[in-house]
Amino acid sequence: MKLSTKMLTLLLLFSFICSNIISSTIIRDIDYEDDKIIETTSIHFGPYPQNPTKDSIIICWQTSEKTRFNKVCYGLTTDCENVVYEKNLLKKYFHKVKLTDLAYSTKYFYKVVSNCFESNIYSFYTLFAANDSIRFIAYGDNRGEWDNWQHASIVAKAIEEEQPHFVLNTGDLVNNGIKKNEWYNFFKTSSFIHNSTLYPVLGNHEYYATPYFKYFSLPNNERWYSFDNGPIHFIGLDSNYRNVLRPAQLLWLIKELKTNDKPFTIVFFHHPLYSSGNHGSYIPLRFLWGTFFQLNKVDIVFNAHDHSYERGKVLNVNYIVTGGGGGPLYDVGYSWWTVYSEKTYHYCLIEANESKLSFEAIKPDGTVIDSFQIMN
């Protein structure tokens, strides 16, 4: 009888150990049965990188079905030999995985796996050091619902061909930020987003809706934020009525400008201080924020809101309206500050190192409509 009790105890112990091993394996490799049940899983949109730092980045994507087992594979080669699993094992559609212990100023390759579905291999960059050269895009006002995203897609594909390290968006990514299907269309249309980190700011058409804050992981409070990349200090602001006159944002902006020691400074937000287009200039903000831009030698201010291209120059600050990302175009005129203006779809390409910043405004067919350089 004693022998039977011992044997039973050993069998129970063996069973417990085996069950733990199997359970652990399931977390790392989906079992066959689960694989069969959700074999229709696919990537709804993404993956795309967000909020890179010197040694980390966040990878986001959404699946067509709720999935529990999700991971990011990454590395310095397309083998993507390193693996990080999503910590939350609850079944859900939207996924975020943070990669850490990365190298500064480095290109990585990555792919995502959800259940049995594996994405293509893409790439991302960590932040660049101040003495590195960087290449990025600025553009805005995608709002592609009016023509089924045809023009927005043309601009996005041209941006993808430029292979920028990252992209600034000056707001109004969609026509109605409350509608999830519009965000789906934006992400599916924005083909560059897999390989280039996107930094958006709030336009008036985002409506502070939940999807904006769900799909983007941005620094600070995500309404206004800053980051350094290469030789440039970037400041993104919220120019919408809810926050535009808030003392908290103004005081934060003044501190950002005063403590900045980078060779170049770029500010971007939605409503333009100088525009000859349909909406025109946001004059009260011109005197509020513009004064500090001039006093602190900001190099470029990017805006949108008017669906056109215009560059103005006031007291050595370049004010650029870049609203040709896909929405219906607006007429644009010419004012005392205007250097160049045109009613056209376009994007802005910027390359910079410690001593020089080069700018080009480019149509999707490759035609350069405006250019200039700033020497440090």
Rounded Cα gap, residues 234 and 227, in angstroms: 5
For tokens 């500010």, name the residue: 267
| Residue range 64-111, pLDDT digits in tens | 999 999 999 999 999 999 999 999 888 999 999 999 999 999 999 999
DSSP H helices, the chain, are 2-28, 32-37, 150-162, 180-189, 210-215, 247-259, 283-295
Q: What is the pTM of this model?
A: 0.89
| Residue range 207-231, pLDDT digits in tens | 999 999 999 999 999 999 999 999 9
Q: Which domain holds residue 319?
A: 134-375
Rounded Cα gap, residues 327 and 51, in angstroms: 26
Q: Do residue 101 and residue 194 come from a single domain?
A: no
Which amino acid does the sequence have at 38?
I
Residues across the chain:
376
CA distances 300 to 55, 138, 256, 296, 341, Å, are 28, 11, 15, 12, 16
DSSP string, 193-209: GGTSEEEE---TTSTT-
Q: What's the DSSP call for residue 192?
A: G
Rounded Cα gap, residues 104 and 123, in angstroms: 15
Q: Do residue 209 and residue 345 come from a single domain?
A: yes
Chosen domain end from 72, 90, 125:
125
Considering its fold, how many domains does the chain have in total? Answer: 2
Is the distance from CB of 216 to CB of 222 less than 8 angstroms?
A: yes
Residue 153 belongs to a domain with what CATH number? 3.60.21.10
264 Cβ neighbours under 8 A, 6+ residues apart: 231, 232, 233, 299, 352, 357, 374, 376
* 302: three-class secondary structure by DSSP: strand
From 145, 154, 237, 236, select the one nearest 192 (Cα to Cα).
154
| Residue range 132-184, pLDDT digits in tens | 999 999 999 999 999 999 999 999 999 999 999 999 999 999 999 999 999 99
Q: Do residue 117 and residue 138 come from a single domain?
A: no
- Tokens for 324, please give them: 């040709």
